Every structure is written in C-alpha cells, then in structure tokens.
Amino acid sequence: MTTKATLKNIASMLGISISTVSRALKDHPDISDETKKKVRELADLMDYEPNAFAVYLRTNESKVIGLIVPEISNYFYHSFVASVEQEARKKGYSLIILQSANDAAVEEANLKLCKLNRVAGIFVALTSETRDMATFDRIKSSGIPIVFFDKVPEDNHYVKVCLADREVGKLAARTIFDKKKKKVFALFGNPNISITRKRKQGLVDELKKLSPFIEIATATANNTEESMQATFDILSNKSKPDLIFCMSDEILTGTIMAINKKGLKIPKDIGVLAVSNGFIPKICNPEITYIETSGAILGKKAMKTFMEVLEKGIIKKLDVIESKLVEGGSI
Amino acid sequence: MTTKATLKNIASMLGISISTVSRALKDHPDISDETKKKVRELADLMDYEPNAFAVYLRTNESKVIGLIVPEISNYFYHSFVASVEQEARKKGYSLIILQSANDAAVEEANLKLCKLNRVAGIFVALTSETRDMATFDRIKSSGIPIVFFDKVPEDNHYVKVCLADREVGKLAARTIFDKKKKKVFALFGNPNISITRKRKQGLVDELKKLSPFIEIATATANNTEESMQATFDILSNKSKPDLIFCMSDEILTGTIMAINKKGLKIPKDIGVLAVSNGFIPKICNPEITYIETSGAILGKKAMKTFMEVLEKGIIKKLDVIESKLVEGGSI
DNA sequence: TCTTATATTGCAAAGGTTTGCGAAAATGTT
DNA sequence: AACATTTTCGCAAACCTTTGCAATATAAGA
C-alpha cells in the first residue's frame, strides 16, 4: 500500500511543515507561489483529500444536514428531498436522509443519530405519533438548528416552513362550490398532525360559508389501506356522495383503488378532488383534478430558511407557500 | 453554557484519567465496578455521547454507508432503500442516501462525497450514462467496499446483487405465450444498462423459442415522458399490438398515460404486462399483471453481501434473486 | 551597515477518542 | 514478612487538521 495522502506525508515528502502544506492548499496569501505550486502538484499526484473527520473535529462544524421524514416513497417528500438536496449541494452541504417510518421511537433514534453525527442542522417532518418534543428541544438547545417542514408542531417558537394548509382547504371548498357538488365525502390523514386539522378546518368552514346546502361528511385514514377501506365503505352505501376529497396522495391512492374495485367511473359516477403533487393524478384516467402542493418549492424555502438561521441565528419564523388548482377531468 | 460532555471533563470532575473513563464506559474488565458506576452515573447525568468524529478519526472506520441511486422516487429503489436502512440500523450503521439524478457527473460527485466522508461502504445502482468505472475502481482500491445492485456493471470482478433479469424476460415470454398474444410491443428502458439488455434478450429469445408466430417489436425510452410518446405513437398506427410489455414502473407509467390519453380500455383494446414492484399496477383499473421484482428482498441480500465483504473480504460475487408473476386483469 | 518592514515558513496546541504498555495498589501465597 | 499475582488505573502517543503566534529570511530604507 502506498503512503496515505495526508498533510503530514506531503509535508515530509516536500521537506516542509504541515502548516505550510495546509495553508498552501487553501491558497493562503502567506505562502509563496512557488511553494503553493509544489504542494498542489504533489497533492494532486497523491490524490489528496482532507480527512473530513479531522476537519470536523478541529473546526467543530460538519457540512452534513440531517433530514428526517416519515417516508421518502411519498411523492411529496421525495420532491422536497430532491429539492433540498440540490440546494444543499450548492452550498457545499450533503444530506443524510432518515426515515421515521411514522414511528415516534424511530424518529427519536434518528434524532440521536443526527446529534451523534454532529450535523449542521436538521430538517424534520413530524410523525403523526409525535407528542413529546423534549428531544427536539434538547437538540435545539445544544446548538443544532432545526427546521420543521410540512408536518410541523403547533408551538410557534419553532422554525417552520409549510404549505398554506388552511388556504388549501379553502381552495378545495371553493372548487367544490364552483363545480356545484352537493354531497361531499372528505377523507383526511391522521388527525393528530396539524396539516390535517388545518386543511379540514379550511375546507369545512369555507364550505359552510359558501353554501348551507352542501352536505359534507369527513373521515380519517392513517394510510393507503385505510383510505381504500373507508372509500369502499362509503361507496357501498345506498346514497353515495357525488365527490370525494382526498387530502393527500396517500389517501388518493387508496380512494382510487376503491373506486376501481367498485367498478365506478370518474367523473360520471363519482367526482374526485385531491391535494397532491401531481404524479398520481396524472397517471389516472381521466386525470384527477388536484390542488398542487409543491415539495420542490417548499424544499427551496426550507433550505433558505435554514441558511438564515445558521447565519443570522433567527429564532422564530414561519414560512408559508401558496398552492394552486390544477384541473383534470375528475370533477 | 454548561461544561461539554467529553471524556476529559468527566475525568477531571471525577479526578481520574481519561483512559479510565473511556474504558469504564465500554465496560472494560480492567476497570473496577465501583469506578464504572461512578463514571456511568456522571456520564448519564451529563448526557454524554462520544464525539463521533473523534472516534472515526481515531479508529478510522465510520458507521455510515453511502447509498447512491438514480432516484429514490422510483418505487423499486425506495423499497430497496427502506429495506437496506432497516438492516443497516440493526447492525449499527446509518445510511447516507444520495441521488445521482441519472447523471454520471452527479454520480461521480456523490462518490467523492462518500470517499470524503470515509463511509464504511457504498451501495450503487449505476446511472444509465455511466461509462467510466475509474472512480469506482479508485475508491475500491482505497479500501472502501462497493456493492452494486440492480443496475450493475457487466464486469464480473465487482460485487453485485441483482434480479434474475434474463429470467424476468423469459417469464414474460412464457406469460405472453400462455395468454396467446400474437403481436407484442415491448418497451424497454435505457439500452446502455445491463438489465435492459438482459431482460430484452430473455424475452426475445424465449419468445422465439416458444413460437415462431408471435410478432414482436421493441423500442426504448429513457423516461416516463419518452415511454408515453412511444406508446402513443405505436397506438396511433393502423395495426395496433395486442399487448404492450413494459420493462419497469417508469416505462409502465408512461404507457398507461398514453393508453388513457388514447381512450383505450385495458384489456379489451390492449393488453399490458409489466415488470414492477406492484405499486403502480395496483392503482390501475383493472390492476396490471406484472412480474414482481422485490426491492425489499434485494435490499436484504445487498446488506448481507456487504457484511460478508466487510468481514471476510470477499472479492467477487454475484447474487441473484428470483421473481414471480402477479396476475391482474390487464391481459 | 544597521534598522525596519514585509514576505515566508514553522512550532505547537487543540479538538476528543482509543489503546498498548507500564505503574501502582491490592490480594494471595509460602 | 517477603515475594508473586492479579486487579486497577494512568501515561502518552496516535489519528489529521487548523490556526495563533513566533521565527526566520528577504527586501527596502536611511
């Protein structure tokens, strides 16, 4: 095995000191051009790359961001992750992606892992089970900035970026009103998380405000399976709704499966309106009308917020992004 | 700010040496129970956690595995990642997930990042653009084990785990034969990657062997968009095929969009057979018949192989997993 | 030539942990 | 009581880099 490419080895091979090599490689003005050239040539030859751990240890700051998400298969989170990754790369950060599997214990383990790895910061979308924010608080007070996104805690002494969830609900309500639907079945995700509450509230309140004649029934489902079951059940009733509202891709997927299973046709037999990132709606026939929520935009905003927190140390902040209606043929 | 929880601080607070503290915390037999107790109590109180970078620096081995994948939104890769993550966690490893965006340059950057972070090993599914294996070779020879999965290089001096791709093609052929289809349009992904070649070869050869009367036309598409276009074009012909074979979820998605756009009905107007992980097929109506390829199983195998390489230093190995037909109503 | 300023380089400590080896203390043996 | 063992612990080096400060060399000014 050849000599390892370290500052020390380069220094001894060149007969100069370690510090000179270190500075030469960072183009420090103290070092002469001649020396720099020598050093750089040998470093290139030896394929030198600084030992990240030694750098971290010395400087006490890593260039890694932890990202904890219930699951990345989710199309929304995926686009969020992709976007954050891209932005992070630009700033010289890399991402360590962790999945909490919607399990508070795993989430906690992941947090520990982040702390252990001394990440520069953490992005978190909360589990629907998360009750105890103590670990988050401990980490935050240990100096690691945390940016919550999408599924955020209610407390507003946290840094949060999220969708305008109430507005999403309202937009759905207005769409339903415009399309003259009379009997709505609205299917939501886990009721414990704030986005569920907000979207529901936005939808229900706005609908009430728009017309007293629109019936609305709501239900919750924790996953695709439950969503499919709930939809199936409601479609088995004598009096079917004329529109099903799905608050997320996960829910939508189950609903579509159930509608297919029932052999019903969209939009003739039943209308569908979803909140989605667009992937699932676009592979359906007809395409599903949906309210677009862009993970990519949210990711960009999250990274920006993170950099602000890091640089200026902003303590509390809430960022919200808007969303718009994309018409398919499902209503 | 309180004193940092380091070995040094614990030692000085207890009036003992750093090495004693270190050993006490690892339950080293040299240390008396009494001392261990004292140390552990204070360590708990101070919320001590070893500085991972210092440990890495000293031991020169990290507990992080790099995982490079064209994109995680892909359902197959996602289930692979989820599976690897689970297995890795059991062994005390954590994952750093990187996306190459199917771009060889990004892939290379990600490799560098892995090397920089001195990962314990790397799992890679190749980009369809990857030609030059030099960087992989350099990393490998620098002592970091690499396990290729799914999209693997042809050379067999690499460690690889993959699906039985030729068998997948054969199974598709037998299915087509059994279902008495006569005119097949087979749509494949990027022709540069080995799985494309193998699946295609398996399908075409076996079909030829089974019957000389089955017509088959093939085409390639690099993404969902291209797949949709290709399908759309073929369906615009006077003489349509009676079955479309899609080699992956990505391809399938485009095909379904095109069929929907054309207003055709599955299976009446056109049959569909896919190779998939099951997610997309199951949300279609009727469900698509597919040959199942399990990312989860592959992930498990990959992790196992990785551990073997790590522990026993196996140099070359090829692992293959079987797949089976899942009947929907699309043929 | 001597002083002063400037350009280069080196010294050494620090960051937190692990670990081989030697030292001290406690215990056991005759 | 003298010696041999065993138990328990500390010293110090090593992992690799960064950086404040001191040191040397070179050039400029008087």
Distance (Å, whole) CA B267 – CA B285: 10
Give residue A313's pLDDT band: very low, low, confident or very high (50, 70, 90): confident
Q: Which nucleotide has its C1' atom closest to residue A59's CA?
A: D18
pLDDT of B196: 92
- What nucleotides of chain C have any atom within 7 angstroms of a protein Cβ? 7-20
Min Cα distance B270 → chain A (Å) is: 15
Contact criterion met (CB < 8 Å) for A116 and B78 = no
B46 touches chain A (CB under 8 A): no
Interface test with B, best of A94, A266, A284 (most B CBs within 10 A): A94
B3 touches chain A (CB under 8 A): no
Min Cα distance A283 → chain B (Å) is: 5
Q: How many CB pairs under 8 A join A and B?
A: 111
Whether CB of A18 is under 7 Å from strand D: the answer is: yes
pLDDT at residue A72 above 80? no
Mean pLDDT within A237-264: 91
B236 touches chain A (CB under 8 A): no
pLDDT of A90: 83
pLDDT, chain B, mean: 89
Rounded to whole angstroms, what are the CA distances from A57 to A54, A60, A62, A315, B18? 5, 5, 9, 26, 18
pLDDT at residue B236 above 70? yes
B284 touches chain A (CB under 8 A): yes
B35 backbone dihedrals φ, ψ, rounded to 5°? -60, -45
Tell me which protein residue sits closest to nucleotide C19, measuring alpha carbon to C1'.
B19
Percent share of chain A, pLDDT over 90: 47
For the segment B211-228, what is each residue's pLDDT rounded down to a tens digit?
999 999 999 999 888 999
The C-alpha angle with vertex A277 and arms to A275 and A278, in degrees rounded to 5, equals 95
Whether CB of B39 is under 7 Å from strand D: the answer is: no
Q: Which nucleotide has its C1' atom closest to residue B18's CA?
A: D10
Mean pLDDT within A167-190: 95
pLDDT of A183: 95
For the segment B68-122, what is each residue's pLDDT rounded down to a tens digit?
998 877 778 888 888 898 888 888 888 888 888 888 988 998 888 888 878 889 9
pLDDT at residue B187 above 80? yes
| Residue in B closest to A258 by C-alpha | B283
A5 touches chain B (CB under 8 A): no
| Residues forming a β-bridge with B97 | B67
Q: What is the pTM of this model?
A: 0.79
| Residues forming a β-bridge with B185 | B217, B244
Distance (Å, whole) CA B23 – CA B123: 34
pLDDT at residue A284 above 90? no
B71 touches chain A (CB under 8 A): yes
Asked if the peptide bond before residue B191 counts as cis, ω within 30 degrees of 0, the response is: no
- Partner residue facing A52 (CB), from B54, B118, B287: B118
Q: How far is the CA of A55 from the C1' of C9 (A)?
A: 22
Q: Which nucleotide has its C1' atom closest to residue A58's CA?
A: C15
pLDDT of A1: 52
pLDDT at residue A217 above 90? yes
A75 touches chain B (CB under 8 A): yes
